[in-house]
Amino acid sequence: MNNLFDEAFAKIAEANTIAISSHINVDGDALGSSLGMYHHLKNIGKNVDIFIDSVIPENLRSLPSVEEINNKKFKDYDLVIFTDAADEFRLGANKNLVHEYELKSVQFDHHEVNTRFAKTNIVCVMSSASELVADYLFYTDSAITQDMARCLITGMYTDTGKLSFSSVTPKTFSVISKLLEESGINIETVTYPLYNSVTKKEFEVRKLGYSKIEFYDDDQIAIVALSYEDICKLDIELFMTKSLVDLALPLKTIKVVALMTEFTPNTVFCSFRTKGNVSAKRLAMVYGGNGHPNAAGCKMRRCIFEAEKKGVIENAKKLIKGTL
């Protein structure tokens, strides 16, 4: 890993103009890792643009310099940096950067399955891409500003379910502690805007989610299924539904939760959460998706919503029995 950090450091040192990109349907880790890197690069005098093919969730819009995302036009870059994207297709409309800068690219990613689409691939399984970017900053003895710390800690918090997933290690806490110590910020600077910025519409979505929860297999499985009709009635963005996957998770008997959102006709976005050694990743892979042991997802195309819902329920039952 240190050799790859050295390689990335050399490429960044040689570059003047740098672009950063992360994955579609952006989450806290995608934003945290990309904006954390953005602030680092600006701090060392680089000319940096950032592009993410996504609407920014309300609770993440207060992150420092979030307004710079997609605020510039593409130009010629000396280097492109990708964060938190397991493959080029996760970049959405920005996947062309992979091919245009095939020899001048670096990626920071924490997913077990990664296609190594950049020239320099810094891929290591850990809590989040934000933790990996923090490791790079510490290794290169870079100054940690308050803006960097806030972005990176946000990524680590959100991608670990508030530090509750099995991907969290003692090192994760050490990294957060070091970011807080070196930047001088208070943890509330991160957590208050992150968890106290729900809009009225998002609150209505949460109410809808509770009304849509269905339980199966002696309450071991919970399904929250929002049809295209449900989406149209509330006129909502996809990111507003993300938190619904966690609604039933606190129930003691639950082992598998599936959130199914038909955001466009016959296209269903799925998020899976599991407990213990029940693999959300295994369930997602059935549908061509991927993720982490207890948090994963997939996208179903050209599908019939109700039929796919029944299929997910049956596969969840097999997952619990160990026959999937």
Residue-wise pLDDT for 105-153, tens only, equals 999 999 988 999 999 999 999 999 999 999 999 999 999 999 999 999 9
Q: Give the mean pLDDT of the chain.
A: 94
Q: Are strands 105-109 and 79-83 parallel, antiparallel or unpaired?
A: parallel
Contacts of 223 (CB under 8 A, 6+ apart): 213, 214, 215, 216, 257, 258, 260, 309, 312, 313
Q: What's the pLDDT at 213?
A: 97
Q: Are residues 258 and 115 in the same domain?
A: no
Residues 6+ apart with CB under 8 A from 40: 133, 137, 142, 148
| Predicted pLDDT of residue 159 | 93
DSSP secondary structure letter of residue 33: H
How many residues are present in the chain? 324
CA 78 to chain centre: 26
The residue among 132, 162, 195 that closes a domain is: 195
Domain count, the chain: 2
Same structural domain, 136 and 238: no
Q: Are residues 242 and 187 in the same domain?
A: no
pLDDT of residue 165: 86
Residues of the chain with pLDDT under 70: none
Q: What confidence score (pLDDT) does residue 113 get?
A: 86
Q: What pLDDT, on the 0 to 100 scale, is given for residue 285?
A: 93
Say if CB 245 and CB 271 are below 8 A apart.
yes
| Strand segments (E) across the chain | 17-21, 47-51, 79-83, 105-109, 120-123, 213-216, 221-226, 256-264, 267-274, 290-291, 295-300
Residues 49 and 88 in one domain: yes
pLDDT at position 80 is 98
Domain ends where: 173, 195, 217? 195
Q: What is the pLDDT of residues 182-218, one digit of tens each?
A: 999 999 999 999 999 888 888 999 999 999 999 999 9
Which domain, by its residues, includes 123?
A: 2-195
Domain identity same for 152 and 242: no
Query: Which has the closest alpha carbon to 293: 200, 201, 166, 145?
Result: 166
Residue 251 CB neighbour total at 10 angstroms: 14
Assess whether 126 and 209 both reside in one domain. no
Q: In what order do the strands lie in the sheet with 267-274?
A: 213-216, 221-226, 256-264, 267-274, 295-300, 290-291
Cβ pair 44, 142 in contact under 8 A: yes
Residue 136 sits in the same domain as residue 260: no
Instruction: Check which CATH number belongs to the domain holding 241 and give it.
Output: 3.10.310.30
Residues 34 and 180 in one domain: yes
CATH (domain of 124): 3.90.1640.10
Q: Are 112 and 251 in a shared domain?
A: no
Q: Are residues 211 and 169 in the same domain?
A: no
Domain-terminating residue out of 178, 195, 212:
195
pLDDT of amino acid 132: 98
At 253 the pLDDT is 97
Same domain flag for 55 and 177: yes
Residue 246 and residue 181 share a domain: no
